[in-house]
Amino acid sequence: MALRKIKLLEPQNPNHSTGIVNGEASGIVNWNDIPYPQFYDIYKNLRSNFWIPDEISMAKDIKSWGELGDDEQEAFKRIIGLLSILDSVQTNLIQRASGYVTDPSVHAILAEISSQEAVHNQSYSYVLSSIVPLEEQNRIFDMARNDPEVMKRNQLILDIYDEFDENPTPKTLAKALVGSIILEGINFYSGFAFFYNLARQQKMVGTSTMISYIQKDEMQHGHFVAMLLRALLAERPDIDADGSFTEYVYETIDKAVQLEIRWSHEVLTGLEGIDLEEMDGYIKYIANKRLRQLGLDDLYEGYTDNVMPWIRTYSDEAMNDTKTDFFEQKSREYAKVSEDNGFDDL
């Protein structure tokens, strides 16, 4: 079944959406009358995260940049280039997906997420403009799209997003949401760890502060997308009627983890303070957390604790690890969600 693209306003329909996709809704956002009250909490949390790059002083980073080794500078440039691609792609995906989502409250949240992704891209330009000349800034952004390892690393997500863009159905949307969780919740994390590692050596502390703001945003984005996917699957149990979608989630996250490990070895080998074996474990730990957000079991046995606890000094993940068998829920059960019994109580 194809997804129906929504109209800007359908006043004959109720304000209270009858479904995440292919439902009926006027297009008017009334936060006091939405199907999933928790979404309002997400919206308020996203709004409270508001920040702008110019608030962060880069004065010390300008001096610190000259003190980095050549290998550190190269890794810095490649990771900034990678992050700029991911946030650019995510901005576009969120906007395109929004056109097929019936629920106006979800529209409002996706608009906020898309805006924040654009700010993240602004942040990378802001950092580079503080430490290198314009010609080098442009080269770094060009380097990202011409780096075969970067593109190989991103192809999994691009293929998932392209499948949805070319054939928008409930199932391809569900796949795109899985891709979004991977992008927001796994693909950024070895890069974030690199900047935090510099900061614990008192290097590029301004950049690390900005990255911590970005990570806080991405945590909220991933949390909401997981909630949205759970809602979609509960409303459309046909997507996973035979259990194949659950298997797809496991297989796709495993592919993403292997790509992330390969990338981290490509860009972080030999850097002071980086233990690649620990990084591999950290990536698997993060992937297990994402699966728990989706109510699924860990994929990687033994990776239940953060093997790089020093990262908590810079950014502590405060996500709920409770396992929920939401894939088995029916939409009639899902309707029991209220402000008092959140998603993890189902």
Which residues carry out catalysis? Answer: 124
Measured CA to CA, the distance from residue 151 to residue 230 in angstroms comes to 30
117 is in an annotated binding site: yes
Per the CB < 8 A criterion, the answer to whether 176 and 252 are in contact is no
273 phi-psi bin (left φ>0, alpha ψ -120 to 50, beta other):
left
* Tokens standing for residue 315: 């950014």
107 is in an annotated binding site: no
250 Cβ contact list (under 8 Å, min separation 6) = 291, 296, 299
277 is in an annotated binding site: no
159 Cβ contact list (under 8 Å, min separation 6) = none
120 is in an annotated binding site: yes
Judging by beta carbons within 10 Å of its beta carbon (0-12, 13-18, 19+), is residue 199 exposed, middle or buried? buried
280 is in an annotated binding site: no
Measured CA to CA, the distance from residue 346 to residue 331 in angstroms comes to 11
* Tokens standing for residue 275: 């233990």
Residue of 159, 187, 189 whose CA lies nearest to 175: 159
Annotated binding-site positions for Fe cation? 87, 117, 120, 184, 218, 221
Residues annotated within the binding site are 87, 117, 120, 184, 218, 221
